[in-house]
Structure 1
Amino acid sequence: MNLSINRKLILNILLFVVMIGVIIFVIRDSLSEIFAELGKTSLPVLLGVTALGLISQMIEGYSIKNIANEFNRKFSVLDGFFASAYATFYRVITFGTGSIVSEVIYYHKKNLRYSEGTGTSALRMITYKIALIVWALFFLVLKNDAIQQHVANGTLLVIAGIAVTLLIVSTLLILSLNINAQVLLVIFCNRVIKHQKLRDIVDRINNQVYSLRAAIKAFIRDRKAVVRVFCSNMAKLFVWYSLPFFILVQDHPTIDIWLTVALISFTVILGGVLPAPGGIGGFEFVYVLLFRNVVGKVDAVSSLLLYRYATYLLPFLIGMIYVLFTKQRQINHEFKKAKKEVND
């Protein structure tokens, strides 16, 4: 038997086993509360939340497809659908560290160069954050009294959240599009970093940023694609933002839809800015803080878990099925190769 084939088969099997173990650990420890809440949820609500989650996932697939099509015209909405789920799966099992890398690897498997995959990932994040800012500004004008009522200095906090998000987007765009900014960054790194290995890493990153600039410029030139991606991100967020109302209106029929949509918009913006006590996630802390004054803490926590199911757990499960199915196919392929070598 060919030794390289044998090693590859064994490595794939080991990775498959380790992946199963990590999935079991994550589901049991990190996602158990969401599964427990799903068991208590009525079937109509569960089906509705699942449908909204799938709709948002399809919109995300359409958005990614419009970006990736600049580099590969055969990239489909379904490819984008699974790209998002694939990245979410690895974000969960790597505890947030492997999301971008796994997404770029996925794009590379779909015949995009690494620089194009990095550009697609960066553009996906940039357009998403721009949509966050636009919705937050809209609801800040429409429902400013709501945030002021529920959080002291709420308006200032939301504005701070918008400013931080805008700073992230601006930094990414400046580094990606402005050659002078890139040159200044390289000069700074060369003066500060003296270790050769670290300087080699900086050089590799610099080359990637150079390639990234070309990818982003290629996308920006297609104005129709830019509009489609922006509108699809706005639509995806509106689907997400409608989830709390759909969940809560069952037990609170008089609840204001625009209030719930505004509060979840503020939650997403504030979640990354407002410090959370006791190790609680920033998003979870802000969500309960805002919604408990409207529906009570118990219902706020329940709706949070269902929201997390639609926007986080559901893509994770789709990505898990995709990854496990793909890995199984790789193992079967390597096994057939090994078997053929033995027979020959």
Structure 2
Amino acid sequence: MPIISIANLSKTYATGFSALSGVDLAIERGEIFALLGPNGAGKSTLINIVCGIVTPSSGTVTVDGHDIAGNYRAARRAIGLVPQELTTDAFETVWNTVSFSRGLFGLKADPGHIERTLRALSLWDKRDNRLMTLSGGMKRRVLIAKALSHEPRVLFLDEPTAGVDVELRQDMWRLVRDLRGQGVTVILTTHYIEEAEEMADRIGVIRSGRIILVEEKAALMRKLGRKRLTLHLQTPLDALPDDLAGFDLDLAAGGQELVYTYDTKAERTGITGLLTGLSAAGIRFNDLHTEQSSLEDIFVGLVREEARAAE
């Protein structure tokens, strides 16, 4: 049974703006799920509805078997949320603010759990510091500690590494993997596509309030990924020979490179025929290399394709 089940979820604001429309989504226990989409696609609205911050116009959501409307206390108890904004009490200490967050869920004090959480986030030596003295990256660590203070089974990370340095980003990646190892389900939104490519088990793409794709990351890369073969020519070309018109070729680097794009799932790549055609045309090359499409390439292609279909 999925830990989060979303059915026919919609949200229309009083202004008439439709932020979500007929969203269906199931998130499995213990997975890392990356929700990708351009600005204004509905990512934060979807998260805020699941977390009980925004009221949906229609549809149902259950978290760990609890309906977010009918049994909202149990549903919210299962969730930890790390928002985009750094909202903290500047005059409070790290220890007190994280301990206070645990108490908000009606849980008794557990100094041992708070200590373990702070140590995992490299905050232990900052436990007595007031939040106003921390850097932006450290404040974001505090937000994660607050979200984990009540030992949730689901953790939402809304743009968790926005504006943080590379070292902190990598620390957060390690933390997310550790949480998954402990059985926590992690849902993240991000503009850093490499985060999803690095960590996610499954990818969801949302645009204009609709889920346009949900796929296992590995399967998505195999299904939609393409490869490029780049040949570095001995003599630059001004134009492509007519005999090679049947290949998906482009000239680059002022005619010094010939780029061939092909489908990775095709039975035949066409490379043998291309090389034969080049030889027949007297085109020689010094070197060649291949590269696989990244998740970012796939994401941009999907969004553009959906935009064209909507026109």
Normalising to structure 1: TM-score of the pair? 0.22
Give the structure with the higher percent helix: 1
Give the structure with the higher percent strand: 2
Normalising to structure 2: TM-score of the pair? 0.24
Bigger radius of gyration:
2
